[in-house]
Structure 1
Amino acid sequence: MVRRSVVPLLVLLLLPAACARPGESAGYDSHAAQVEQAHAALDRWAATASADGPPFVAAGEQTGQTGNWEPGVGDAYKQAMLAGAVEAAGTLPAETPPPGEIRWADGNRRTVDVLPAAETLQRLRQAGSGQCAMTCPPILVTGATLATANVSTSRGPAVVPAWQFTVRDSAVRIWRVAVATKSPEPGPHDPNNPPAGLSGERATIHDRTLTVYFTGAGGSAAQPCGADYSAEVIASDIAVVVLVLERNYEPPAGSENYGCDDVGHPREASVQLTEPLGDRVVLEVRYGTAIPVTQA
């Protein structure tokens, strides 16, 4: 059974209070909703746990390109990349490559299975939106070479096996991570009932102090349009989910209405872990996806 713990929050400015989301009643309990989302995320990660050692969990883009699109194809190919409109127009290597190695910046290494070129290209397509903002022809792949790529992971930067694809009518090379592991699917997305909380974008760890960085209000809750933030975590042996709690400015009774802009500002909040982070993955609370963590 996976052991879980809840770490009390460390207040950075003022004590937190649950805030209603737009369209929600004042009685909406953001904290309770975040706790529910966190446990659901831990369940998804527990279902894919492996005993093979520290996991490879991408915490950023797994698809990229080398070089810039030429003027004649640039606009269309940019849209095609976002949509995942990439097709094989030549013969790709059919064999499954031998095991490869992940090399983290901190010196840790792990041997992993590597996907064949065709399966890697399929994952590249599946990662796209499936829609083009404009009518765009597919990018035609004419060949593939096994290479490496520098990516962001839940344990910091790493060099990982990747396939590099040649493209018809362009000198650009497309690459896609080819590691044969898969992270759990993100939590459900319902635009009519968005998840609670704020998503951490990255985190740092110093001893047992975990600091999460996110986008929030520009000032403190003592001023109009401001907010105070604090953090807590719900953790298991596999992952740590960071909850970001928010307390907004409360205007005095009878004060005039005021307007706030929609500009986001970099904010942060910290929490003390009860145990060292170790190889555990740090997850944002809205969809339970991994965020990159570096040593502070």
Structure 2
Amino acid sequence: MDVRAKHPVGLLLALLLGACLLTGCGGGPHAGDGHARSLQQRQQEGRARQVADAWRGSASAAAWSEGYYPMADAVRIPRSGWRGKADEQAYERENFALRTDLPTASAGHGKVVWKSGGTLSRPLWGARKAYRSFARGDSEGPRLTVTGVRLGETTITTSRGTATVPAWLFTLEGYDTPLERVAAVPSQLPAPPITQAGPGSAGGLERLARLAGIAGDGRSLTVRATHGACDDGPVVKAVETDESVVLYASVAGARSGPCTAALLEESVGVELREPLAGRILLDAFTGRPVPYGESDGPSPSWT
């Protein structure tokens, strides 16, 4: 009996399977996915380098180097910390009681003085606007009581290093040191020298939400990045030059099929080869500096 004549298809499949086991079959879904990911990564890095090149020596970079851009929280709690959980909860919920009169006169202008040298005159927030930036709560529960306010000074980290800036100092009942709120208004963000990346033009590049913190040595950053409910989370990498650090964000392990439309936000750490120092921190997607703070939060965002 001639088995080959009766089962030619089965024998062909068996031979193909044996060849795959011996040599491996390319072109499968995993190999294709790997090639696609590699292509996307090259596109993302390429866009980041384009942004770095556009900012290098530009008028936008010059304007940035001369401006005042805070890179830390504009509100500082009393130096002793909160007395207990109730006061901490009141602050988080922005629940305050005002037991004093706030100055109504215009605060005018004040001077930003950098530790490394250089000064800049900036308009100041009024006391009422400063108070309303952190005292917006109206919920049940404990409250912090403001018993006095005066214009003083504090220090803050900026894009040009540490600076001494005018600040409103709010006296709180039961505390020896005040709650500080930076009064100096940030400089206007310069127009970027490159347009935002178009949809699908940069290999799945995502916009960064904001900068959340810079380590004391300047070698690591924490940023907030967004992702969906059906993936493995955000990935953030950096392209470093002498003048800038360009961050490019993407999403790992995105899965097809039904998924909720939820947009999630997550903290991601980024390690740098060299300290950030005076280099400008840029978002590859927007082509703009990565903002610090939430747009509706008490800390200044200059986007």
Q: TM-score, normalised by structure 2?
A: 0.50
Percent identity for Structure 1 against Structure 2: 20
Deviates more, 1:172-181 or 1:78-87: 78-87
Partner of residue 109, structure 1? 119
Q: Deviations over 1:107-130 (max 9, x none)?
A: 11111111111111122347xxx6
Structure 1 segments (4+ residues) deviating >4 Å: 25-28, 30-36, 48-53, 193-201, 284-287
The aligned amino acid for 1:181 is P
Residue segments in structure 1 that go unaligned for 5+ positions in a row: 1-24, 43-47, 185-192, 205-210, 216-228, 249-263, 272-276, 292-296
Partner of residue 187, structure 1? none
Residue segments in structure 2 that go unaligned for 5+ positions in a row: 1-32, 55-59, 190-204, 223-235, 253-267, 294-303
Partner of residue 289, structure 1? 291
Matches within 5 A, 1:261-280: 267-269=271-273
In structure 2, do the counterparts of structure 1 residues 82 and 281 end up closer, same or farther at CA, with 3 Å as the change threshold? farther
Partner of residue 68, structure 2? 56
Higher strand share: 1
Q: TM-score, normalised by structure 1?
A: 0.51
Offset of 1:155 from its aligned partner?
0.7
SS at match of 2:186: coil
**Alignment RMSD, CA only?**
5.1
Matches within 5 A, 1:1-296: 27=36, 29=40, 32=43, 35=47, 54-68=66-80, 71=83, 74-125=84-135, 136-181=141-186, 195=207, 201-202=213-214, 213-214=220-221, 231-232=238-239, 240=244, 242-243=246-247, 267-269=271-273, 281-283=280-282, 288-289=290-291
Q: What is the distance in 1 between the residues matched to 2:82 and 2:211?
A: 36
Q: What is the distance in 2 between the residues matched to 1:233 and 1:200?
A: 19
Q: Deviations over 1:42-92 (max 9, x none)?
A: 9xxxxx999798211110111113342564xx2122122233333433211
Q: What is the distance in 2 between the residues matched to 1:104 and 1:78?
A: 32
Offset of 1:177 from its aligned partner?
0.2
Between structure 1 and structure 2, the one with the greater Rg is: 2
Q: What is the distance in 1 between the residues matched to 2:283 and 2:213?
A: 8
The aligned amino acid for 1:56 is Y
The aligned amino acid for 1:98 is G
Q: Which has the higher contact order (CA 8 A, sep 6+)?
A: 1
In structure 2, do the counterparts of structure 1 residues 109 and 31 end up closer, same or farther at CA, with 3 Å as the change threshold? farther
In structure 2, do the counterparts of structure 1 residues 131 and 281 end up closer, same or farther at CA, with 3 Å as the change threshold? farther
Q: What is the distance in 1 between the residues matched to 2:237 and 2:206?
A: 21
The aligned amino acid for 1:268 is L
Whether the 8 Å CA contact 1:163–1:177 is kept in 2: the answer is yes
The aligned amino acid for 1:94 is T
Higher helix share: 2
Offset of 1:163 from its aligned partner?
0.2
